Chains A and B, each alone.
Chain A
Amino acid sequence: SQKIEQNSEALNIQEGKTATLTCNYTNYSPAYLQWYRQDPGRGPVFLLLIRENEKEKRKERLKVTFDTTLKQSLFHITASQPADSATYLCALDMNTGFQKLVFGTGTRLLVSP
C-alpha cells in the first residue's frame, strides 16, 4: 500500500532561516501533490499544489519541488517567522480524478525567535 513519509516528526529552526521539509512516497506515481498547513485544533489549510510535470512552484516565501524519479517533494519556507510554526502535511491523490487524498505523517515545525 502507499506509504507517505515526512522527514521528521519535528523540526526546530531559528527565525530568518530556511526550513526544508521532505515528503517521500512509495508504490505510486501521483499526477500531483499538495501541501497543507495545520494549526493545533484546526483543520488543514491548503498551501500549494504541484503537478508531476512541474519541477518547482513558488508562492511568496514558499517553494515546492517535485521529483518523480526520487518519489520526493521538498517544501521550503524562506525567511521563516515564528508565525510559520505549525504542522505541515503533504498529500497525494491515490485515485486521480476522485480526490482520494492520502496525507503524509506530517512535520511539526517550530520557529524560534
Chain B
Amino acid sequence: DTEVTQTPKHLVMGMTNKKSLKCEQHMGHRAMYWYKQKAKKPPELMFVYSYEKLSINESVPSRFSPECPNSSLLNLHLHALQPEDSALYLCASSQALGENEQFFGPGTRLTVL
C-alpha cells in the first residue's frame, strides 16, 4: 500500500464550526506533514511530525491544531476559521526526516463561509 488517504475530500464549514481533517498512511512512514495550498500557488508547509512528535510548526495560527495519535494517523483540528483559510489541505508522509521523498494525499478542499 503506497497511498496516503485523506478524508473528507471536500468540507464546507462556517466560521464558528469545529471540524477535523484526517490523514492515514500504511507505508510504515515515521514522518508526516500538513501543507496548505491556495489556488495557483505552491504548497506551504504548516506542520511536521516525526515519530509522532511535533518537529516543526511554521507559525500557524492556533485555530489549526494538529494531532498525531499514532504512526499511521494525522489529524488537523479546525476551529473558528476565517474565509481566507479556504484552501486545499494536503497531507504527506515520508520514511523519515532527511533526504526522503514525500508521498502526498489527494487533499481536502476546504471552504470557510
Interface of A with B (CB < 8 Å)?
31-32, 34, 41-46, 49, 51, 89, 93, 95-106
Distance of A26 Cα from B113 Cα, bound (Å) = 38
27 contacts between A and B (CB under 8 A): A32-B99, A41-B88, A41-B107, A42-B106, A42-B107, A43-B104, A43-B105, A43-B107, A44-B43, A44-B90, A44-B102, A44-B104, A51-B99, A89-B43, A93-B99, A96-B98, A97-B97, A97-B98, A99-B33, A99-B48, A99-B97, A99-B100, A100-B48, A101-B45, A102-B45, A103-B42, A106-B42
Beyond the given pairs A43-B90, A99-B102, 12 more chain A to chain B contacts, judged by CB atoms under 8 angstroms and listed by A's residue number, are A43-B106, A44-B90, A51-B99, A93-B99, A97-B98, A98-B97, A99-B31, A99-B94, A99-B98, A99-B100, A100-B56, A103-B43
Closest 9 CB pairs of A and B: A43-B104, A103-B42, A46-B101, A99-B97, A44-B104, A43-B90, A106-B42, A43-B105, A103-B43
The answer to whether the Cβ of B103 comes within 8 Å of any Cβ in the partner chain is yes
Query: Which chain A residue shows the least CB distance to B103?
Result: A46
Residues from chain B with a CB closer than 8 A to the CB of A32 are 99
Q: What is the number of residues of chain B that contact chain A, defined by CB distance less than 8 Å? A: 29
The answer to whether the Cβ of B55 comes within 8 Å of any Cβ in the partner chain is yes
Residues from chain B with a CB closer than 8 A to the CB of A98 are 48, 50, 55-56, 97
Query: Which chain B residue shows the least CB distance to A42?
Result: B106
Residues from chain B with a CB closer than 8 A to the CB of A103 are 42-44
